[in-house]
């Protein structure tokens, strides 16, 4: 005989809710009935999110969480467990881009990039899994926001690309371990999205030096990436994909979002690698 849940409303937590994809996804999850913990490292930046939620009477609560800080992650998860006793959905979304030619990147800058985009996912997921697993009957969903750059390499953002390739490998591997517990892993692979991404990105210190042998190249490619982000796919499109996947009886393992991403993914899959390299070279020339 199964016992009734004291609280049957599903609970979601999303990282990096202060802007872009995280902001849009938090609202959409709450509008679809999930009790949504919209986490951000600085919740003051999410005041407008709370205002919308209050005006619409949405089940949304802001919570402080810095994915690079163990005690912040632990504290947030403990708070959710004490308030709701369950976590059904985790959306690992927080991230930023590190720009600069590889030779100009310091090891510390690369470590910081991994600390957020890769170890941040690991840290939050490892804290959430014991809670998700304890509700074995109802299962759970982990959505990892990767990128088209989880498959498609690009110059000037090599460290960012490396974090997303790593996230793809991690997600594919842990999906096998979590399946017996009814926990699904889903990868979201957006192309260029008109979010706060370019504003939140970091240019490597040495890349800013006009004496760098890569200075002109980095400037040119960065502004190409930047202009791709103007008039790009809106964060709401990604949010819609994430929420549809979560609500689906049988979600796919990966979702590509944006026509630019679809084109690049198909090229990566179908072209000879040398032809593909030439295509990328043409894009950045
Ligand atoms: N935009 C794109 O073109 C694109 C394409 C493919 C994939 N993605 C991925 O989509 C995800 C969301 O990015 P976005 O496009 O929505 O950009 P965004 O608007 O800049 O949002 C990034 C979010 O991550 C948060 N964040 C950064 N470091 C954090 C940390 N240590 N702890 C907690 N939160 C942190 C930011 O918080 P603050 O406001 O405090 O900085 C912000 O809320 C990222 O993983 C990114 O790699 C983006």
Q: Please work out whether the CB of residue 26 comes within 6 Å of at least one atom of ligand 1.
A: no
For residue 81, is it within any domain? yes
Ligand 1 centroid from CA 2, angstroms: 40
CA of 273 to the centre of ligand 1 (A): 30
Catalytic site residue 35? no
pLDDT for the residue 136: 67
Say if 235 falls within a structural domain: yes
C-alpha span between 74 and 156 (Å, rounded): 34
- Does 2 score more than 70 pLDDT? no
Q: What is the mean pLDDT of residues 106-113?
A: 98
| pLDDT tens-digit readout, 75-104 | 999 999 999 999 999 999 999 999 999 999
Indicate if the pLDDT at residue 179 is higher than 90. Answer: yes
User: Looking at the predicted structure, is the pLDDT value of residue 67 above 90?
Assistant: yes
Please check the confidence at residue 7 and state whether its pLDDT lies above 90: no
pLDDT category at 135 given cuts 50, 70, 90 is confident
Contact 116, 67 (CB under 8 A): yes
Provide the pLDDT for residue 137: 75
pLDDT for residue 98 = 98
Do the domain assignments include residue 227? yes
Q: Which of 115-129, 131-145, 240-254, 262-276 has the lowest mean pLDDT?
A: 131-145
Residues contacting 90, CB < 8 A, separation 6+: 12, 13, 14, 124, 125, 128, 132, 140, 141, 142, 143
Residue (of 186, 164, 90, 69) closest to 133 by Cα position: 90
Helix, strand or coil, per DSSP, at residue 169: helix
For the chain, what percent of residues have pLDDT higher than 70?
A: 98
Q: What angle do CA 168, 173, 176 make, to 5 degrees?
A: 135
Domain range for 111: 11-284
* pLDDT for 5 beyond 60: no
Residue 115 forms part of a structural domain:
yes
Distance of CA 135 to the CA centre of its chain: 24
Domain count, the chain: 1
Top mutation candidate among 195, 198, 262 for ligand 1, by most atoms within 8 Å of CB: 195
For the chain, report the end-to-end CA distance as a whole number of angstroms: 66
How far is the centre of ligand 1, averaged over its atoms, from the C-alpha of 94 (Å)?
A: 4
Please give the structure tokens belonging to residue 142: 């982990």
For residue 34, count CB atoms less than 10 angstroms from its CB and return exposed for 0-12, middle for 13-18, buried for 19 or more.
buried
pLDDT, residue 249, reads 94
For residue 100, the domain's CATH number is 3.40.50.720
Catalytic site residue from 37, 160, 214, 255: 160
Rounded distance from Cα 76 to ligand 1 centre (Å) = 19
**Mutational test site, ligand 1, from 94, 145, 167, max ligand atoms within 8 Å of CB:** 94
**Is 208 exposed, middle or buried, given 0-12, 13-18 or 19+ CB atoms closer than 10 A?**
middle
* Residue 43 reports pLDDT greater than 70: yes
Mean pLDDT of 177-200: 97
Query: What integer pLDDT is reported at residue 6 of this predicted model?
Result: 55
Confirm if 144 and 188 have CB atoms less than 8 A apart: yes
Domain assignment present for residue 2? The answer is no
Whether 156 is covered by a domain: the verdict is yes
How do residues 275-285 score in pLDDT, each as one tens digit? Answer: 999 999 999 98
On whether residue 82 sits in a domain, the answer given is yes
Q: Is the pTM of this model over 0.85?
A: yes
d(CA 38, CA 11): 11
Q: Is the CB–ligand 1 distance for residue 150 below 6 Å?
A: no
The Cα 240–Cα 245 span in angstroms is 8
Pocket test of ligand 1: the residue of 17, 22, 48 to mutate, having most ligand atoms within 8 Å of its CB, is 22
> Which position has the token pair 């103007």?
230
pLDDT at 153 over 50: yes
The phi, psi pair for 72, rounded to 5°, reads -65, -45
Residue 46 lies in a domain: yes
Q: Cα(175)–Cα(82) distance, rounded to whole angstroms?
A: 27
What is the number of the ligand 1 atom nearest to the C-alpha of 115? 31
- The reply to whether ligand 1 has any atom less than 6 angstroms from the CB of 92 is no
Mean pLDDT of the chain: 96
CB atoms < 10 A from the CB of 107, how many?
7
- Neighbour-count burial of 261, counting CB atoms closer than 10 A to its CB (0-12 exposed, 13-18 middle, 19+ buried): buried
């Amino acid at each position: 005989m199964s016992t009734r849940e004291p609280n049957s409303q599903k609970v979601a937590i999303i990282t990096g809710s202060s802007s872009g994809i995280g902001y849009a996804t938090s609202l959409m999850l709450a509008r679809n009935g999930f009790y949504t913990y919209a986490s951000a490292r600085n919740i003051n930046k999410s005041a407008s999110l709370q205002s919308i939620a209050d005006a619409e009477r949405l089940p949304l609560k802001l919570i402080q969480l810095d994915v690079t800080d163990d005690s912040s992650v632990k504290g947030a998860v403990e708070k959710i467990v004490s308030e709701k006793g369950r976590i059904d959905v985790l959306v690992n979304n927080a991230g930023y881009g590190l720009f600069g030619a590889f030779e100009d990147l310091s090891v510390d800058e690369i470590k910081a990039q991994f600390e957020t985009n890769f170890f941040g996912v690991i840290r939050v997921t490892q804290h959430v899994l014991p809670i998700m697993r304890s509700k074995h009957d109802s299962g759970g969903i982990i959505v990892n926001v990767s990128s088209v750059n989880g498959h498609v390499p690009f110059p000037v953002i090599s460290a960012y690309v490396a974090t997303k390739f790593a996230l793809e490998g991690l997600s594919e591997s842990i999906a096998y371990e979590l399946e017996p517990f009814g926990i699904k892993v889903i990868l979201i692979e957006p192309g260029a999205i008109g979010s706060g991404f370019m504003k939140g990105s970091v240019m490597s210190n040495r890349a800013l030096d006009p004496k760098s042998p890569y200075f002109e190249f980095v400037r040119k490619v960065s502004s190409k990436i930047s202009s791709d982000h103007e008039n790009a796919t809106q964060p709401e499109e990604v949010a819609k994909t994430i929420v549809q996947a979560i609500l689906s009886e049988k979600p796919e393992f990966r979702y590509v979002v944006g026509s630019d991403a679809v084109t690049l993914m198909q090229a990566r899959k179908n072209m000879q690698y040398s032809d593909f390299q030439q295509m990328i070279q043409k894009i950045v020339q």
